Amino acid sequence: MQILVELGDVAVARAAREHLPTIARLLADDPTSPQYVATTTLVSDDIVGPLREVLDLEPYFDRIDADPNQLLAVVLDEGDRVIGTFQLTMLPTLARGCAIQAIVSAARIRAGSDSLAVAKRVFAWVIEHARNQGARVLVVVADKDRAHMHGFFTTMGFRTSHDGLVLPL
């Protein structure tokens, strides 16, 4: 496992194949997920049970992991348990003077009394990491139904500047 940064009592690491079940649980622990199962505890199959539908995530993980413009990350607690995840995409563009746009998606931190503090430390690192990778803008993709997350990102200095449109394919 490749630790990218230590942030006090948590660390950010490149996700590994063995993290996939817990990443899936974190992503399902969201009202916008078709796999939604609410929990306020550390997300793991032994606590909340298996996903309703088992997905073969390994081919998708392999594709993400092989792409140098992708970082699928996990947030680990002091016991090396996965308590969060996010995907950071570095997108070279012709827009904004050929700027690299960094895009954060699928960001989750387990619910708990310290989740806000952990999220702030993690996103402060994400901002600095994207800047160090040459990004000139950082975009966060968050479902409109996750209003609490929009408020969080506003406190981190993000502003609503664009509307996105989605077409399910």
User: Helices then strands (H, E): number in the chain?
Assistant: 6, 6
* Separation between Cα atoms, residue 56 and residue 61, nearest integer Å: 9
Q: What span, in angstroms and rounded, lies between the C-alpha atoms of 52 and 36?
A: 9
Helix ranges restricted to H, 16-78: 20-28, 45-48, 58-66
The model carries a pTM of 0.84
pLDDT score, position 27 = 85
* Strand order across the beta sheet in which 100-109 lies: 3-7, 10-14, 70-76, 82-92, 100-109, 135-140
Q: How far apart are CA 15 and CA 2, in angstroms?
A: 8
The amino acid that residue 23 corresponds to is I
pLDDT in tens, the chain (169 residues): 899 999 999 999 999 999 998 898 888 876 555 444 444 444 444 433 444 455 688 999 999 999 999 999 999 999 999 999 999 999 999 988 899 999 999 999 988 778 899 999 999 999 999 999 999 999 998 777 766 677 788 888 888 887 777 777 7
Domains and CATH numbers, the chain: 3-155 (3.40.630.30)
Distance CA 24, CA 106 (A): 10
Model pLDDT, residue 138: 95
Cβ atoms 84, 118 nearer than 8 A: yes
